[in-house]
Amino acid sequence: MAIRVYEYSKKSGVPSKNIITLLEENGFIVPNHMTHLSDEMIDFLNKQNNSKDAAIKNLGNKKNTRNSINFKKNNSDKEIETPLKKELFHTSMTVAQFCDTTDVSANDLIVYLLKKGIVAPKNYVLSEKLVEDLAHHFNIQFSEKIVAQQSEAERSISAVKGTEKRAPIVVIVGHVDHGKTTLLDYIRKTRVAEKEKGGITQHLGAYEVLVDKDPIVFLDTPGHEAFSLIRVRGLKVADIAILVVAADDGVMPQTVESIKRIKAAGVTVIVALNKIDKATSAQIEATKRSLAQYDLLPEDWGGQTVVVPISAKLGTGVADLLEVIHLQSQIMDLFTNTKAQAKGFVLESKIEKGRGLVATLITHQGTLKIGDYFICDLVQGRVASLTNSQGIQVKQVLPAMPVAITGFDMQPQVGALLEVVSAEEYKLHKNKNVERVSSMATMHTTDEAVTIVIRSDNMSSKEAILGEIERLSKKSFKPLHVVSAGIGMITESDVELAHETHAIIYGFNIKIDKQAAREAQKMGVAIKVHDIIYKLLEDLELLAEQGKPVKKVLKKMGEAVVLKVFDIKGVGVVAGAQVKSGRFVKEGGKVLIYRGKYKAGEGSLKSLQRDKKTVKEVQAGFECAFMVDNFSDWIVDDRVECFIEVPE
C-alpha cells in the first residue's frame, strides 16, 4: 500500500523535509509532504536510511544544492549530467512562456506534464511551485526572486534574520457559511459561532493551539463580504492559509477572492474540503475541478495543492489537517529574532469597559514588554498591559504569539504596523500628531445628503461599515454623509451632534447610554441599533433611496364600447357603455377614446357607476356609465380604453 512522505517520516523517524530534499536531489519529483511515495522512492529511502553514513538523517545540517547536482533520467541508475540552460525566477508563467525562456521544446514539456496527470496546452498557467519543479527536472538554474511588492514596513520585518524557531501563523479564509469558524471551534474546543449574531463571524481573532506540543497560531477571519479588508489584513501576517471550501457548495465568489488574495500575498495554501458528510462523490469531484481552474490542482490529481477532506461539524479529518499544517510549518523553516526591536500588526482594536483602548496584536520579531514605548502608524503609546490568548496577563510576549495590548494614546487602525521605539522617538511622534488631531473638524453637510452618525463596537466593524456606505453613496439617490464615526456606546455628545446636523445615529453591536437615550427622545433624534451587519446596510440603503422619483408607465386595464349617450341637466354628458374586456378602474383610471381609426380624445375617469351605484371598478361583460374630465363629445360606438399608471 502506497504511503505518503509524512507517514514514512513518522515510521522512520526522519524529518519530512530531509526526505523531500534527498529525493529531489536524486531526481525524484516530490511536491510536498503529502506526496505518495512510489515503490522506487521507498526502496531508495530504505537503502539510504540503512546505509552506514545515514546521509538522510544528516541532510538537514547541510544546504540544499539542487541546482548543481546530477539528476536521474528515465528510471535508470545511470546519472546524466546536462548543462545548465537559461535562468528561471520564482514566478508563474504559461507553458509557451516556459518554453521560450528555457528552450525546452513544447512537446517535451507537455509530455512530461501528461505523465504527472496534467493536461497542459500552450496557454496553461504553470504555478510558481510547478515552475520550480520543472526547472529541477530539466536541470535549469532556478533563482528565488520576490515578485510581489512589499511596503517599507513589511520589508523591515522580512529583512530581520533570526535563528530562533517561531510558531506558524495560520489564517482561515473562504466563502461565508462554508465552515471556517466551525472548523476553528472544533480545533480549539470552544464555541464562537453560536455566540455570533446570525452565525456570522464579525471580528478577527487570534488563537494559539498546541499540536504535538508545538504551538500554531490561528487567525479567524469574517465571512461577510463587507469585511474583505479584514481578510486581506489577515493574509498579510500569515504564513499558511487554510482555504475552507464546502464540498456541497463548491467554489463561490469569496472563495475566488480568497484565492486571489492568497496568491498576491505569497502565502502557502492548504485546502480544507469541508462538509464531506453532506456532499456526494460527484460534488466533491466537481469542487476539485473548480479548484483546478484557479491553479489549485489537487495533489491526488497530480497537482501540488494539498486538499484535506474534513467535516468541521463532526471533526472528521481535522486531525489530518492539523498534521499537514504542522508538517508544512516544519518544512518552511520559520525563524525569528527575539532580541530585535519588536514589530507586529494590529489585528483588532476596540474599547473595553474598565480597560479603555485595547488592540489585538501579533508580532513577527522581537520581545514585546510592559513599559515599551511604541508608534503605530498615526498613533503612539506605551505598553500598559499584555494579555495572552488564554486571558492570562503576562509581562512579555514572544513573536507570533497573539496578545491583547493596552496603552494606546488614540485608537489604532486595524492592519497598522506597531514598532517599539525609544522614549524620545515616542515624544517626537506624539508632538507631530497634536496638530493633525486638533485640525480635524466636523465635515460639511448639504441638504441633498442623508447625514448619519456611526458608532460601532470595534475598529474593524467601523471600517467595514464606512466602506459599504461609500459604495452605497455612489449609486444611491441621495449620498450618505457620515458626520462622525467612532467606537463604543452611543453617548450624549453623539446625540447633540446628530441634532445639530440633522443626522440619524446608527449603532452596530453597541449599547445606548441611558442619558443619551433620554436626550435623543427629547430632541427627536432617531437612533437605530443593529447586531447583524447586513440588516444595518439594508436599512441604510432604504434611507438613501427615500424621495427618489418613481418612473411610471401606463398599463392597459380594459376596453369598452359606448352604447348610449345621456345629457343630464346639472350633471353633464354621461357615456353608457359595456366593458368588452378586462375591467374599468375608477381610482387613477385614465381613458383614450377612439372613433373608428382615429383618436377622438382622452381624460381621467370622473365617475363610474353600475346599476346607478357608484363603484370602484366594472368587470368585462357588465354595463356601466361614466363621465370623463375634459371630454363630453360622445357618440354611439366610440371605443374606450382604460389605463392606470404603474411603476416601471
pLDDT digits (tens, 9 = 90+) for 56-87: 555 444 434 333 223 233 333 333 333 334 55
Interior CA angle at 89 toward 88 and 94, to 5°?
Answer: 75
123: confidence class by pLDDT, cuts 50, 70, 90: low
Range 482-492 average pLDDT: 86
Residue 63: predicted pLDDT: 38
- Output the nine-digit C-alpha cell for 49: 536510511
Give me the phi and psi of 622, to 5 degrees please. Answer: -105, 155
- CA separation for the pair 569, 170 (Å, rounded): 90
Q: Quick one: which of 508, 522, 379, 513 has its CA closest to 453?
A: 508
Residue 19: predicted pLDDT: 83
Q: Give, for 538, the enclosing helix (H) or strand (E).
A: helix 533-545
User: Residue 579 to residues 361, 410, 591: CA-CA distances in angstroms?
Assistant: 76, 75, 13
Q: Which residue ranges does the chain devote to CATH 3.40.50.300? A: 163-336
446: confidence class by pLDDT, cuts 50, 70, 90: very low
Check if the beta carbon of residue 256 is closer than 8 Å to that of residue 174: no
Range 520-533 average pLDDT: 91
Q: Quick one: which of 393, 332, 327 has its CA closest to 358?
A: 393
- CA separation for the pair 159, 143 (Å, rounded): 18
* DSSP code string of 182-229: HHHHHHHT---GGGSGGG---S-EEEEEEETTEEEEEEE---SGGGHH
- CA separation for the pair 117, 111 (Å, rounded): 10
343-438 is classed in which CATH architecture?
Beta Barrel (2.40)
- CA separation for the pair 558, 492 (Å, rounded): 59
Per-residue pLDDT reduced to its tens digit, 134-169: 888 888 876 554 334 444 444 445 445 567 888 999
- CA separation for the pair 555, 99 (Å, rounded): 65
Q: Which CATH superfamily is domain 163-336 in?
A: P-loop containing nucleotide triphosphate hydrolases (3.40.50.300)
Per-residue pLDDT reduced to its tens digit, 254-279: 898 889 888 877 788 999 999 999 99
User: Residue 195 to residues 178, 185, 187, 313, 485: CA-CA distances in angstroms?
Assistant: 17, 11, 17, 16, 26
Strand partners, 450: 480
Strand partners, 363: 344
Q: Which residue ranges does the chain devote to CATH 2.40.30.10? A: 343-438, 552-647
Which amino acid is it at 109? L
Q: Which CATH superfamily is domain 450-545 in?
A: Translation initiation factor IF- 2, domain 3 (3.40.50.10050)
Residue 416: predicted pLDDT: 81
Check if the beta carbon of residue 322 is closer than 8 Å to that of residue 170: no
Q: Which CATH superfamily is domain 552-647 in?
A: Translation factors (2.40.30.10)
End-to-end Cα distance, the chain: 68
pTM for the model: 0.56
String of b and e for 265-300 (b: at least 16 CB within 10 Å)? Answer: bebbbbbbbbbbeebeeebbebbbebbeebbbbbbe
Q: Which residue ranges does the chain devote to CATH 3.40.50.10050? A: 450-545
40: confidence class by pLDDT, cuts 50, 70, 90: confident
3-state helix, strand, coil in the chain (%, to 5): 35, 30, 35
Residue in this structure with the C-alpha cell 469541508, named with its chain if needed: 274
Res. 589: pLDDT tops 90: yes
